[in-house]
Chains A and B, each alone.
Chain A
C-alpha cells in the first residue's frame, strides 16, 4: 500500500497544479548570525550560518537522503530527486540534538525538514511542494545555476 501511494504521490507531484503563493518577498524571520545561542557547538548561530551558506542547496532532515526517517523529510528528498538535484548538503538532526534545536532557533522555524537555497531559508516540506507544483522551484534552481531535469522531460514531451 505504501509503495503504490508513494508512486501515486510521486506522479501527483509531477502533474499537480497546486495554488500559487504570493510574491517573492524576502523572509524577515531568520535571525542574524551572532544572535541566539553562543559558543562553538554544532547548534550555534555562527556554525549554522556557515553551514547554510556552504552549499547552494542545504536541507535539514530527520534521517538521511538514503534513509529518511520522516515522511515529510522524505518528501523533500523526493522532490529534489525529481528535479535531478544531486549535489546538496543534507544534515540529519536525529544525530545531533544541539543541531536539531539550533536550526529551529536559527531559522525561527519550529519543525523539520527545513530547506535553504543559496543561504536563504525557503521553508519546510509544504512550501517546497508548493514551489514544485507552481514552477517556482525550477526558477529558483535556475537562478542558482542548477538546471532541473524536469525541463528536459517537458522538452521531450513538447517535441512529441
Chain B
C-alpha cells in the first residue's frame, strides 16, 4: 500500500525512467509536435504547456509522432467539465488527430488546480497495439 506522496514519487520516478527512452530523438522536435504546441498556445493561451512525444514507448517506427501527452493549464478551462476541456483541446488539434496522431493523453487544468497539484502524469506501458504482440516498455 502506497501513501499519496510516496506513490506519486514512485510513479514520477518511473515516468522519468521511461521518458528518457521515449523521446523521438535527443532534443529533436518534429513538425507535428511543433504544430501541436503552436495550435494549443493560440487556442488556449496556456499558463503552462507541457508536451511530450511518447511515440518512442510504443510499437511504432523511430522518429514517429503518433503518441503524445500534454498538460495544459489555462484559465479558459474555468467552469468546463473535464469532457468539455478535452473537446476544446481536440478541436484545436483536429487536423493532427485526423492525421498522424492517434493517442493523446490530456491533463487539462485551471491555474488554481495546477497550483494545487503541479504534477505531470505518466502514461501506462504500451501493450503492443494492433501488432498483436506484447511490446516491452
Q: Write the residues of chain A forming the contact surface with B, with a CB cutoff of 8 angstroms.
A: 1-2, 5-6, 8-9, 11-12, 14-25, 27, 29, 62-63, 68-75, 94, 108-111, 121-127, 130-131
B10 beta carbon closer than 8 Å to chain A:
yes
Partner of A111, one of B2, B97, B132: B97
B84 beta carbon closer than 8 Å to chain A:
yes
B25 beta carbon closer than 8 Å to chain A:
no
Contact A130 B126 (CB under 8 A): no
Question: What are the 8 A-B residue pairs with the smallest beta carbon separation, nearest first?
Answer: A71-B124, A21-B82, A110-B97, A19-B113, A12-B7, A11-B2, A22-B81, A25-B81
Contacting residues, chain B, for A121 (C-beta < 8 A)? 83
**With A5-B125, A16-B7, A17-B4: A111-B83 Cβ-Cβ less than 8 Å:** no
> Given A5-B11, A12-B2, A72-B124, 11 other A-B contacts at CB below 8 A?
A11-B7, A15-B7, A21-B82, A22-B81, A23-B81, A69-B128, A71-B125, A74-B124, A74-B127, A122-B83, A126-B105
Q: Can you list 20 A-B pairs, Cβ within 8 angstroms, ordered by A?
A: A2-B136, A8-B7, A9-B11, A12-B8, A14-B1, A15-B4, A19-B109, A21-B82, A25-B80, A29-B83, A69-B130, A71-B124, A123-B86, A125-B105, A126-B82, A126-B86, A126-B106, A126-B107, A127-B86, A130-B82
Contact A25 B84 (CB under 8 A): yes
Contact B2 A72 (CB under 8 A): no
Contacting residues, chain A, for B7 (C-beta < 8 A)? 8, 11-12, 15-16
Contacting residues, chain A, for B90 (C-beta < 8 A)? 109-110
Q: Write the residues of chain B forming the contact surface with A, with a CB cutoff of 8 angstroms.
A: 1-4, 7-8, 10-11, 14, 77-87, 90, 94, 97-98, 102-107, 109, 113-114, 116-117, 121, 123-130, 132, 136-137
Cα separation A19 to B110 with both chains bound (whole Å)? 10
Contact B98 A69 (CB under 8 A): no
Contact A72 B123 (CB under 8 A): yes
**With A11-B7, A126-B105: A69-B113 Cβ-Cβ less than 8 Å:** no
Contact B83 A127 (CB under 8 A): yes
Contact B83 A8 (CB under 8 A): no
Contact B102 A68 (CB under 8 A): no
**With A72-B105, A125-B105: A11-B1 Cβ-Cβ less than 8 Å:** yes
Partner of B10, one of A8, A63, A69, A131: A8
Cα separation A109 to B82 with both chains bound (whole Å)? 13
Contacting residues, chain B, for A16 (C-beta < 8 A)? 4, 7-8
Contact B124 A18 (CB under 8 A): no
